[in-house]
């Protein structure tokens, strides 16, 4: 089994978000089947292997699918409607995130780049204690 995990290990969420706060997107990469895991985790969902390396991932990618949220959860109401997308990153992993563009200005295949910001005051209010310092990623059109 995996060696002891602690909160500095990027296969845990605190470790992953610490790196993201510094601008580094870390992914797990299965050494058996090469599946990319975002965020990193102790085991590969594709093949079950626990031989997962952690490697920096490209921040550039393309929109795989997208929509806009018109009926937001409380805490996000002031931002609506806002665009979200599933982005296929250049290193092969797929990640969901906000897109800093109007829905009408986005299309499948658009190039985007991952950026990172701190939580807004409204997001802070709905964050759990341990999430307050975790950044949020946003995809910027390129």
Partner 1 sequence: MPEPVIASVGASPLGRTDLPGRDLFSVALAEAFDGLPDPADLVEAVYVGNQSESYEHQIMHGTLLAEWAGLRYVPAERVEGCAAAGALALRHAVKDVRNGEHEAVLACGVEKMTSAGTSGATDALSAAFDRAIEQRSGVTAPSQYALLAQRYLHETDATERDLAEIAVKNHANAARNPRAQFPEEIDVATVLESDPVAPPLKLFDCAPVGDGAAAVLVTTAELAADLDRPQVRVAGSGASANNIAVAERDMTDIAGARIAAETAYEEANIDATAVDIAEVHDAFTVCEALLAEAVGFAPPGTGYQSHRAPAERADGWTDVQLSPSGGLKARGHPIGATGILQALEAYEQLTGAAGDRAVEGAETALLLNEGGVADAVTVGHVLTTAEAR
For partner 1, the binding residues (CB under 8 A) are 13, 16, 37-39, 45, 64-74, 76-77, 79, 81-82, 84-87, 94-98, 103, 108, 123, 127, 131, 134, 136
Q: Is the peptide bond before 39 cis (omega within 30 degrees of 0)?
A: yes
Cα separation, 56 vs 103, whole angstroms: 29
Q: Which two tokens stand for residue 35?
A: 């599946």
Q: How far is the CB of 119 from partner 1 (least distance, A)?
A: 9
Q: How far is the CB of 131 from partner 1 (least distance, A)?
A: 7
In the complex with partner 1, which residue's Cβ is closer, 58 or 76?
76
Q: How far is the CB of 2 from partner 1 (least distance, A)?
A: 19
Beta strand residue intervals within 6-134, DSSP E: 26-30, 36-37, 52-56, 60-69, 82-89, 94-99, 111-117
């Amino acid at each position: 089994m995996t060696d002891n995990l602690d909160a500095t290990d990027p296969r845990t969420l605190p470790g992953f978000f610490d790196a993201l706060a510094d601008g580094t997107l870390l992914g797990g990469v299965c050494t058996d089947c090469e599946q990319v895991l975002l965020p990193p985790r102790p085991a590969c969902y594709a093949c079950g292997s626990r031989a997962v390396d952690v490697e920096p991932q490209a921040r550039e990618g393309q929109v795989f699918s997208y929509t806009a949220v018109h009926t937001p959860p409380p805490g996000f109401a002031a931002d609506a409607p806002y665009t979200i997308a599933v982005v296929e990153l250049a290193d092969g992993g797929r990640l969901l995130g906000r897109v800093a563009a109007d829905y009408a200005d986005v299309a499948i295949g658009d190039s985007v780049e991952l950026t990172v910001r701190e939580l807004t005051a409204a997001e802070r209010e709905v964050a759990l204690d341990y999430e307050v310092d975790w950044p949020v990623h946003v995809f910027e059109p390129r």
